[in-house]
Chains A and B, each alone.
Chain A
């Protein structure tokens, strides 16, 4: 039956209250007489009653249960253990120890880094460095770059570049030429 007046909705709450709690409100009588005429409400009410029964059966199964007798001792142990750990972690001594640890963690890698740099860097006496700089300044233009219509030529004079200054720089290339790119006007 199609409910055009909305009476199903109006009576349903009273019917559910009756099924659920046995409540007989003022509107119950009208709801019962509606129920006699409305098959859809009968079906809905039956489904609701089944749902309530299923819920109560689950509730009955729950009501027989109790936690184990040692539930409190276990919880107390857990709480007090956590409190002890917390109090240790929050103590001033722990704070100081943590600060020291942080400082140590930050400083130790730096000192290691300095040591490595000392070991790995070439040992160059300061005098050699300054003489090498002077040498490179004195030697005018060890590299020459010339541009031609079709190519750029970079020439390195090994006799003027490599010196016996102990820096370990050896340039063996006598000259290089950059071949022209195919096509013109493109990016280099």
Chain B
């Protein structure tokens, strides 16, 4: 980071190589659109370069990068909703998945859209823990380190986020009617 702050472009390339995948995946996961994810990746790192002197050296920059990319994702999603294009078919076409029939793929994408919408309704601090912990599969400790908070805080934010998301999903009848059996099947037998 010190080299990045000293305007070393090679160091910034290393910085980009290290953090590009989580940021791109977050952007792709939340927008469901490759092109949008590419643009968000570029915008996020362009801002990081612009504000490199203000970045903190004592904590991971991942939290800052995530916050910027989440903001960019949601501002883009709210703009896109104005022109009403809820499902990105182009994405489904670019990633062929022979295991799924087209109808299932559309349903899958619709389910993702509901999940994305649900995450968008959360306050920012809860979005960050949900994205890092569930979407990126970080451990509690890694999530806490990335956000500069205690593990207990991560847990309580996860519980709050899950409760809010559960409420959001329950509002969507489709979750209950159509996706529930599929998801139950994936979950396997009940834990008890």
B16 touches A53 (CB 8 A): no
Q: How many residues on B have C-beta within 8 angstroms of the other chain's C-beta atoms?
A: 52
Total number of A-B contacts with CB less than 8 angstroms? Answer: 120
Q: Which of A55-63, A124-132, A151-159 contacts B (4 or more CB under 8 A)?
A: A55-63
Residues on A facing B (Cβ under 8 Å): 13, 16-21, 32, 35-36, 44, 46-59, 61-68, 71-72, 74-76, 78-80, 82
Q: Is B169 an interface residue (CB 8 A)?
A: yes
- 28 pairs, CB–CB < 8 Å, chain A vs chain B: A13-B159, A17-B155, A18-B191, A32-B192, A47-B166, A47-B169, A47-B170, A48-B162, A50-B175, A50-B180, A50-B184, A51-B162, A52-B134, A54-B111, A56-B134, A57-B111, A57-B112, A57-B183, A57-B186, A58-B115, A61-B29, A62-B26, A65-B24, A66-B21, A67-B41, A71-B16, A75-B42, A79-B49
Check: B37 CB closer than 8 A to any chain A CB. Answer: yes
Expressed in whole angstroms, the Cα–Cα distance for A79 and B134 within the complex equals 33
A38 to chain B, nearest CB (A): 12
CB-defined contacts of B116 to chain A, threshold 8 Å? 58
Q: Mark B167-178, 1 if CB is under 8 A from A, else 0.
A: 001100001000
**Does B28 lie within 8 Å of A65, measured CB to CB?**
yes
B128 / chain A contacts, CB cutoff of 8 Å: none
B59 in the interface (beta carbon within 8 A) = no
Q: Could you tell me if B166 and A76 are in contact, using CB atoms closer than 8 angstroms?
A: no
**CB of B145 closer than 8 Å to a CB of A:** no
Q: Check if B12 sits within 8 Å of A79, measured CB to CB.
A: yes
A16-B162, A50-B183, A54-B111 known; A59+B49 contact, CB < 8 A: no
A21 to B191 alpha-carbon distance, docked (Å) = 12
**Given A54-B115, A58-B115, A58-B116, A48-B166 contact (CB < 8 Å):** yes
B137 in the interface (beta carbon within 8 A): yes
Least Cβ–Cβ distance between B159 and chain A, in angstroms: 6
* Nearest chain A residue, comparing its CB with the CB of B130: A55
Residues of B within 8 A of A47 (CB): 166, 169-170
Q: Is the CB of A35 within 8 A of B192?
A: yes
Asked, given contacts A35-B192, A54-B183, whether A67 binds B135 with beta carbons under 8 Å apart, the answer is no
B6 proximal to A (CB < 8 A): no
CB distance from B157 to the nearest CB of A (A): 13
Report the minimal beta-carbon distance from B40 to chain A, rounded to whole angstroms. 10
Q: Is the CB of A59 within 8 A of B42?
A: no
Determine if B135 and A59 form an interchain contact, defined as CB atoms under 8 angstroms apart. Answer: yes
Chain A residues positioned under 8 Å from B16 (CB to CB):
71-72, 75
Cβ–Cβ < 8 Å partners of A80 in chain B: 9
Contact of B137 among A36, A59, A71, A82 (CB under 8 A): A59
**B134:A63 contact, CB within 8 angstroms:** no
Q: Which residues of B contact A65 (CB under 8 A)?
A: 24-25, 28-29, 34, 37
Cα A61 to Cα B114 with chains together (Å) = 14
> Is there a chain A Cβ closer than 8 Å to B13's Cβ?
yes
CA distance A13 to B152 in the complex (A): 12
A72 touching B13, Cβ below 8 Å: yes
